[in-house]
Structure 1
């Protein structure tokens, strides 16, 4: 048994548990993740963060063993928050939580220092297994434990080259979702309700989208999205 695995067993059997911070802008997600983690006596939730800036502050101050970090955080995106944390606290093991992620984003996240990536649809089945894997020194990618990061990265690079990602003009997955809503004629209130975010957050997303696509109105954005195939139109 590896030394890190021995430490995991010792912590789960003793009083010293693995310390975890949850960073996600959705209170419901944080609540659900907290409940799942606290059902395992090996782990202890020591902090929560609702945006990227707070995630950095909480992680640096609390020095958890594991940070569960949402990829699409307000104020500072997950990847940027992770860069800042890795520069100042490289010992923390970061697991990204996301609804969707591209192969290129996975490669970038691993290169920055992520130890695991979990799709939110798989959290219930994968979360504690992933945390045990990364705490013992391995990685968690694509729903399984990975011990050879170099081989995994090489495989991801080959897959990315074989099936290049469509051009997204730098839009994040959440921004692309907002674009789809705009094309469908949704108001800011509709978008906010659909993704359980505030209308102010929707406005920030739209401002970023306008900057990246070079448009200035919702109509121009809808036309741009259709022309550049950023959305799939039903027949």
Structure 2
């Protein structure tokens, strides 16, 4: 009688919960305990205790509107939790607060009103190294990314991370909201070639999504304002 092949068991995602409300911490603990692939390793009521979450993979922080607007507090939270990745669980935020949180290092923004399955999906994505934001704010984020690009005079392009001129051009189009098809038309190449360039760039700079690539490019000052054309949403006007 043959022996069935054994498969290595995937390690559970280690979660640390931050919330000032005991009922929120307990509710989240029970929720993740009901789903395979997660293990809550601790919780705390105060951001000052966030350092306890360092040994987790993801810190799920229940953040108030005021907390999300406190830039200094968010920065301290990211530093205290590192190398764990932080997801903000919050009510509807002003898009400027979302953009600033992502710039500071928050890896996910999740509305408290989402379903359990969507919350699980967001945690898995962030644990895998991706960013997580709601689709309805992507367009606004690309506009803000465009506005944040540095003037050409400020940027001596010394660190290119192996990116070619073509790839830098594609990043600049990505930032202002062009999709793959529009980028292909703009560059005079095939859409599948654009996809291959994106895959190559993901590997070169160590990211896994278009949003992450755009944020990385601006953080590392790879793209300057002079590189950017009009946003795709304005091109048809």
Partner residue in 1 for 2:213: none
CA displacement at 1:157 relative to structure 2 = 5.1
**Partners of 2:80 and 2:112 in 1: how far apart?**
27
**Distance (Å, rounded) in 1 between the aligned partners of 2:72 and 2:56:** 19
Is 1:46 paired with 2:38? Answer: no
Residue 139 of structure 1 and its aligned partner are, at CA, apart by 1.1
Partner of 1:105: 97
Cα separation, 2, equivalents of 1:71 and 1:79: 12
Name the residue aligned to 1:71: 63
SS in 2 for 1:140: coil
- Structure 1 residues 74, 139: closer, same or farther in 2, change over 3 A? closer
Cα 1:59–1:80 change in 2 (3 A) is: farther
In terms of Rg, which structure is larger? Answer: 2
What's the offset of the Cα at 1:45? 0.3
Deviations 1:53-86 (A, max 9, x none): 12x23224xx210000122299998754441243
State the distance in 1 between where 2:131 and 2:31 align. Answer: 20
Structure 1 unmatched ranges of 5 or more: 1-8, 160-235
Secondary structure of 1:138's counterpart equals: coil
Check the 8 A contact 2:86/2:108 in 1, yes or no: yes
* Length-normalised TM-score, structure 2: 0.50
Name the residue aligned to 1:154.
Answer: 142
Partner of 2:125: 133
Alignment match, 1:117: 109
Separation of aligned partners in 2, 1:73 and 1:52:
15
Q: Secondary structure at the match of 1:97?
A: strand
TM-score by length of 1: 0.51
CA distance in 2, matches of 1:53, 1:73: 18
Give SS of 1:95's match. strand
Q: 1:103, 1:156 within 8 Å by CA — same for their partners in 2?
A: no
- Rounded to whole Å, the distance in 1 between the matches of 2:73 and 2:94 is 18
